[in-house]
Amino acid sequence: MELWTAFTIGLFGSFHCVGMCGPIAMALPGSGAGMAAELTRKGIYNLGRILTYSLLGGVVGGAGRAVSLAGLQRPLSVFLGMLIIAGAFLPVISSAGIQRIKPVQRFFDWLRQKLKQQMSRRGNSTMLVTGILNGLLPCGFVYVGLASSLTTESVIGGMSYMALFGLGTFPAMMLMAMAPNLISLRLRRRINHVLPWLAVALGGYLVFRGLAMGGV
């Protein structure tokens, strides 16, 4: 999977993700030490998110390597593409649908409780831990990125893909943390209307990629 798609998915998907992560970013406790200190703290928070995405990408990329060795990368690419396309419009297999699975729901409840505990603390280490936990929150576009990183078929490839995805989310998340009024609700709604079609385009590419390999 071409690496440029990772940054693109992160950049456009971040306007959807601010609905989940934006309130957390805005609620992070301030240091009261000026703009430079706040930029540093919010930057560390976002670094934590990117670190989580990268580690998840490495795990998924490693799994993709195993799939490749088994000779299943072609049907997998087609399957993932179709799943991404369906997930853009069918709630049952969307991020919200996944959260209704009981074990998954319990995990996310635990995760939100841990995040709530972190919000009462201060310090750069707290910002890093909060970002790391935040990276585990349910997000449809994170799942899209991870599905794409599976096709890199290597641990390093998956980590690189998701690191670029995380960097793509960085501008919007920093803006939400430092100046939330700069990204209006109206703008986010307009972009959200386009996002399903971005997912369809990526899913279509994965289907085409799998079919072009032959043997499906």
Write out pLDDT tens, residues 45-73: 999 999 999 999 999 999 999 988 888 88
pLDDT average, residue stretch 160-173: 92
pLDDT, residue 165, reads 95
Structural domain boundaries of the chain?
A: 4-26+34-213
Q: In this model, does residue 19 exceed pLDDT 90?
A: no
Could you give the percent of the chain with pLDDT greater than 70? 83
What was the pLDDT predicted at 97? 63
Are the CB atoms for 149 and 1 separated by under 8 Å?
Answer: yes
Per-residue model confidence as pLDDT tens digits over 168-205: 999 888 877 777 666 666 776 777 777 788 888 888 98
